[in-house]
């Protein structure tokens, strides 16, 4: 039978689907899904396109869109994977199917977490929890609940809330224990592996190793999760300076990483192996793994162009000047040289100013004095006697008792350590409600002790947050300005850019360019995976 005839038969079957029982579409759909590991993902995408055209029911269209999202994920195209999942999420809002709704929310949470948009990931995780409440099948309910707790643990760990992350992982294990299905063992192992990583960050190496080994005992066969486990065990041995044992674990991790197209795993493993060779003073091999790390970093950026700038742009800007005898071209070259000298001098001045700001930014991260947060520019220093007199004067004029004022200042300090100020709904009444006070007291304390009004106070906290991310997390320098604005709670691109320049004296784009050029001049390579 010819290929064209096969296509006609396939389309004919699709046309007849609405007239048949509903499970006919499901049978065709499930058959396609079962072939996801047997065929190339690109072929599965073509099959999904045909199914989408023939689908009559909204839920059927949602299923097909998620098939495409998973296929693009296999191809490493996170941009299209998220795009199709977002379309499915819009479609599921018109369908009364909480199971698929929760699965889609979980999928989106995982993808946004992988590209570093943690607040957006948290949003979808929270929506997923709401969806699960209406799931009637207990096995499906507990499995999805466990996976959502796992995802919330990723979020809490990424923002530094390790205790909350541990709580969520324990909740995930509790939920998984309710599921009587041997396939759930992988999810259980994943929770133990995550616990091992968190305890390692807390320098509780004994408890960390215990959880890593527990995770490894649950897995049968090699998987990329085994790579994370061995990498974690190797990292513990590195910190303990047990070089021989570290090498054994890291060799296993590298072997697994090489067999999977998982960029984050490869980067983490190469970073630790680099640190191993630095630890035993083998500079040559350390440099080899430095190159491997950079290569994987570039490959991951090329795979996901929506979240990164084009890594080849810089090389394309190189200009080759031919030697010619024409006097006009020589004159033009002289003009160009003059312009380059001019811009180099100007760029050097910008770098001096920029480095001054970076030094102040790093000092703010170490300084517990809240006042320093709001003095990013050049602020004249007042003598101690004047400050004491001013504090006494303000207290005498206070609207509240000294105890109430001190308590409110303590609450504001805790507020500044969190990320609630990035909430788009943040307002004076909103924050007053969160702190269990009234707007009059809150406004007074901010004005008196922060020396700014409420709006400026929140905006500076937000800019401080995003500047900290840009300085310490290279991924944030790859995002569009609109994404950065959304991440820290600004309602528009223009508002964010305006406030950013007021606080830092630079526009966001110029700040990022200076930060990138500053990093390129550093002699030592810093691996964020080892923090």
Burial 175-212 (b: 16+ CB within 10 A, else e): bbeebeeeebeebbbbbbbbbbbbbbeeeebeebbebb
Render pLDDT for 15-60 as a digit per residue (tens, 0 to 9). 334 433 344 445 444 555 554 444 466 777 777 777 777 777 888 8
Radius of gyration from C-alpha coordinates of the chain? 28
Domain ranges, ordered by start, for the chain: 418-519
Nearest CA to 448 among 503, 500, 411, 406?
A: 406
What pLDDT was estimated at residue 3?
A: 45
Contacts of 10 (CB under 8 A, 6+ apart): 50
What pLDDT was estimated at residue 357?
A: 61
What topology is assigned to 418-519 in CATH?
Arc Repressor Mutant, subunit A (1.10.10)
pTM of the model: 0.52
Nearest CA to 349 among 506, 481, 502, 464?
A: 506
CB 149, CB 141: distance < 8 Å: no
Averaged over 125-140, what is the pLDDT? 89
What pLDDT was estimated at residue 30?
A: 53
Render pLDDT for 466-507 as a digit per residue (tens, 0 to 9). 998 888 888 888 888 989 999 899 988 899 999 999 988 888
CB 489, CB 422: distance < 8 Å: yes
What is the DSSP secondary-structure string of 76-111?
T-HHHHHHHHHHHHHHHTTS--HHHHHHHHHHHHHH
Contacts of 70 (CB under 8 A, 6+ apart): 36, 81
Contacts of 410 (CB under 8 A, 6+ apart): none
The Cα 293–Cα 343 span in angstroms is 33
Percent of the chain with pLDDT over 90: 12
Averaged over 96-106, what is the pLDDT? 89
What pLDDT was estimated at residue 174?
A: 92
Query: At 310, is the pLDDT very low, low, confident or very high (cuts 50, 70, 90)?
Result: very low
C-alpha neighbours within 13 Å on the C-beta side of residue 374: 16
The Cα 454–Cα 378 span in angstroms is 22
Using the predicted structure, report yes or no on whether residue 152 has a pLDDT greater than 70. yes
- Decide which of 396 and 270 is more confident: 270
What pLDDT was estimated at residue 148?
A: 92
3-state helix, strand, coil in the chain (%, to 5): 75, 0, 25
Mapping DSSP to helix (H, G, I), strand (E, B) and coil, where does residue 45 land? helix
Most confident of 153-167, 358-372, 510-524: 153-167
CB 141, CB 132: distance < 8 Å: yes
Mean pLDDT of the chain: 76
What pLDDT was estimated at residue 364?
A: 52
Mapping DSSP to helix (H, G, I), strand (E, B) and coil, where does residue 58 land? helix
Mapping DSSP to helix (H, G, I), strand (E, B) and coil, where does residue 425 land? coil
> Cα 302 vs. chain centroid, distance in angstroms?
17
How is residue 252 written in tokens? 């296993």
- Decide which of 349 and 236 is more confident: 236
How is residue 297 written in tokens? 């970093």
The Cα 108–Cα 100 span in angstroms is 12
What pLDDT was estimated at residue 326?
A: 59
Find the range with the poorest average confidence among 55-59, 194-198, 373-377. Answer: 373-377
Using the predicted structure, report yes or no on whether residue 352 has a pLDDT greater than 70. no
Query: At 68, is the pLDDT very low, low, confident or very high (cuts 50, 70, 90)?
Result: confident
What pLDDT was estimated at residue 461?
A: 93
Using the predicted structure, report yes or no on whether residue 213 has a pLDDT greater than 50. yes
């Amino acid at each position: 039978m010819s290929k064209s005839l096969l296509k006609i038969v396939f389309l004919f079957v699709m046309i007849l689907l609405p007239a048949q029982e509903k499970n006919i579409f499901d049978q065709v759909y499930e058959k396609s899904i079962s072939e996801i590991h047997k065929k190339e993902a690109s072929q599965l995408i073509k099959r999904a396109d045909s199914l989408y055209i023939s689908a009559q029911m909204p839920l059927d269209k949602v299923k097909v869109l998620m098939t495409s999202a998973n296929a693009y994920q296999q191809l490493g195209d996170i941009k299209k994977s998220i795009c199709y999942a977002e379309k499915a999420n819009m479609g599921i809002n018109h369908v009364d199917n909480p199971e698929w709704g929760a699965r889609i929310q979980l999928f989106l949470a995982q993808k946004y977490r992988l590209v570093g948009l943690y607040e957006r990931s948290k949003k979808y995780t929270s929506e997923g929890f709401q969806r699960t409440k209406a799931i009637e099948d207990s096995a499906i309910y507990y499995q999805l609940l466990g996976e959502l707790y796992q995802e919330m643990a990723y979020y809490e760990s990424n923002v530094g809330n390790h205790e909350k992350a541990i709580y969520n992982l324990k909740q995930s294990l509790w939920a998984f224990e309710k599921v009587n299905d041997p396939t759930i063992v992988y999810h259980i192992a994943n929770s133990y592996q995550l616990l091992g990583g968190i305890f390692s960050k807390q320098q509780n190496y004994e408890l960390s190793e215990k959880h890593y080994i527990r995770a490894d005992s649950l897995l049968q066969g090699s998987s990329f999760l085994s790579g994370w486990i061995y990498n974690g065990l190797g990292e513990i041995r590195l910190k303990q300076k047990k070089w021989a044992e570290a090498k054994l674990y890291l060799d296993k991790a590298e072997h697994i990483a090489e067999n999977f197209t998982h960029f984050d795993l490869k980067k983490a493993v190469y970073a630790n192996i680099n640190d191993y060779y630095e630890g035993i003073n083998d500079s040559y091999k350390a440099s080899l793994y430095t190159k491997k790390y950079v290569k994987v970093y570039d490959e991951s950026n090329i795979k996901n162009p929506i979240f990164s700038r084009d890594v080849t742009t810089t090389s394309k800007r190189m200009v080759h000047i031919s030697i010619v005898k024409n006097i006009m071209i020589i004159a033009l070259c002289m003009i160009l040289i003059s312009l380059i000298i001019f811009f180099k001098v100007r760029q050097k001045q910008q770098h001096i100013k920029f480095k001054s700001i970076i030094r102040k930014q790093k000092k703010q991260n170490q300084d517990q004095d809240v006042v320093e947060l709001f003095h990013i520019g050049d602020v004249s220093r007042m003598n101690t006697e004047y400050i004491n007199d001013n504090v006494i004067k303000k207290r005498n004029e206070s609207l509240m008792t000294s105890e109430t004022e001190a308590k409110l200042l303590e609450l504001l300090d805790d507020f500044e350590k969190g990320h609630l100020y990035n909430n788009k709904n943040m307002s004076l009444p909103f924050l007053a409600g969160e702190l269990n006070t009234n707007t009059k007291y809150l406004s007074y304390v901010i004005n008196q002790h922060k020396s700014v009004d409420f709006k400026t106070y929140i905006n500076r906290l937000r800019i401080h947050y995003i500047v900290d991310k840009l300085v310490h997390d290279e991924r944030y320098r790859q995002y569009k300005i609109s994404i950065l604005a959304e991440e820290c709670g600004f309602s528009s691109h223009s508002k964010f850019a305006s406030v950013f320049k007021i606080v830092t004296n630079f526009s966001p784009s110029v700040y990022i360019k200076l930060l990138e050029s500053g990093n390129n001049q550093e002699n030592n390579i810093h691996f964020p995976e080892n923090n």
